[in-house]
Structure 1
Amino acid sequence: MSFMELAQIIQLNIFSFIILVLIYSNERKMKEQLVTYKIFKFIVKVGMLLLIVDTSAWYFNEKSGNLNLFGNQISNLILYIFAIVPVALWLLYVYFQVIHNRNRATRVIIAACLLVFVNGLLSLMSIKTGWYYSIDSNNVYHRGPYFWVHVLLCYSVVNYTFFFILFNRRKIDKRYYKSLLLFPIPQLVGSALQVAFYGISLNWSGLTISLLIVYFNIQDMGLNTDYLTGVFNRRILDYHLRDKINNTSKNKTFSAILIDLDDFKKINDNFGHHVGDEALQETVGLLKSSLKKESFIARFGGDEFIAVLDIDSIKHLEMIIYRINNNVRAYNQTSGKPYEIKLSMGYCVYDYSSKMKVEEFIRQIDQLMYENKKKGK
Structure 2
Amino acid sequence: MENLLRVELDIYALLLVAVMMISLSRRPLREGPPLERYFFLIAGSIAFILVLDALSWALDGIPESGARFALHLTNTLYYMLYLVPLVIFTLFIDHISRQGTFPGGGMLHALALVIIVLFAAAAFTSPWTEAFYDLDATNHYVRGRLFNALVTASFLIGFIPECILFARRRNMPKRIFRLLALYPIPILIGGLFQFYREGSAMLWPAATVSLLLVHITIQQRSLNIDAISGLYNQAAFMEMLQNWAANSLNSGNAGNSGNSDNFGAILFDIDNFKRINFDSGYEKGNEVLLATGYAIKSVLGPRDIAARVGADEFIVLSPAGAPALEDLESQILAQVREIVIAGIDQEFTVSSAHAVFDQSTHPSLDSFLQTLDSLLYKKKESLKNVPLQPELPLS
Q: Which TM-score band (shorter chain)?
A: 0.5 to 0.7
- Which moves more between the two structures, 203-212 or 151-160? 151-160
- The 2-side partners of 1:224 and 1:279 are apart by 15
How far the C-alpha of 1:6 sits from its partner, in A, is 1.5
After TM superposition, the score normalised by the length of structure 2 is: 0.59
After TM superposition, the score normalised by the length of structure 1 is: 0.62
8 Å CA contact 1:267–1:339 kept in 2: the answer is no
- Taking the TM superposition and a 5 Å limit, the aligned residue runs for 1:54-73 are 54-73=53-72
Match of 1:212 in 2: 212
In structure 2, relative to structure 1, the CA distance for the partners of 1:203 and 1:182 (3 Å cut) is same
8 Å CA contact 1:186–1:210 kept in 2: the answer is yes
- Larger helix share, 1 or 2: 1
8 Å CA contact 2:233–2:309 kept in 1: the answer is no
Match of 1:51 in 2: 50
Q: Which amino acid aligns with 2:373?
A: Y
- Taking the TM superposition and a 5 Å limit, the aligned residue runs for 1:319-358 are 335-339=369-373
Match of 1:258 in 2: none
What secondary structure sits across from 1:277 in the alignment?
strand
Q: Deviations over 1:196-249 (max 9, x none)?
A: 101110111011100111212x222245553412759xxxxxxxxxxxxxxxxx
8 Å CA contact 1:57–1:72 kept in 2: the answer is yes
Paired-residue identity, %? 17
- Taking the TM superposition and a 5 Å limit, the aligned residue runs for 1:2-81 are 3=1, 5-29=2-26, 32-81=31-80
- The 1-side partners of 2:374 and 2:367 are apart by 9
Q: Which amino acid aligns with 1:178?
A: R
In structure 2, relative to structure 1, the CA distance for the partners of 1:20 and 1:334 (3 Å cut) is closer
Q: Which amino acid aligns with 1:163?
A: C
- The 1-side partners of 2:42 and 2:63 are apart by 34
- Taking the TM superposition and a 5 Å limit, the aligned residue runs for 1:305-316 are none
Q: Which amino acid aligns with 1:134?
A: D
- The 1-side partners of 2:223 and 2:365 are apart by 29
Q: 233, 257, 270: which is aligned to 1:265? A: 270
Q: Which amino acid aligns with 2:91?
A: L
Larger Rg: 1
How far the C-alpha of 1:338 sits from its partner, in A, is 2.2
- Taking the TM superposition and a 5 Å limit, the aligned residue runs for 1:153-232 are 153-216=153-216, 218-227=217-226, 228-229=232-233
Structure 1 unpaired stretches of 5+: 233-262, 284-329, 342-377
What secondary structure sits across from 2:373 in the alignment?
coil
Match of 1:128 in 2: 128
How far the C-alpha of 1:153 sits from its partner, in A, is 1.8
- The 2-side partners of 1:332 and 1:141 are apart by 64
What secondary structure sits across from 1:44 in the alignment?
helix
8 Å CA contact 1:47–1:208 kept in 2: the answer is yes
In structure 2, relative to structure 1, the CA distance for the partners of 1:140 and 1:197 (3 Å cut) is same
RMSD: 3.2
Q: Deviations over 1:238-285 (max 9, x none)?
A: xxxxxxxxxxxxxxxxxxxxxxxxx9534999xx9769936449x9xx
Match of 1:89 in 2: 88
Q: Deviations over 1:290-334 (max 9, x none)?
A: xxxxxxxxxxxxxxxxxxxxxxxxxxxxxxxxxxxxxxxx97666
Match of 1:254 in 2: none
State the number of aligned residues.
260
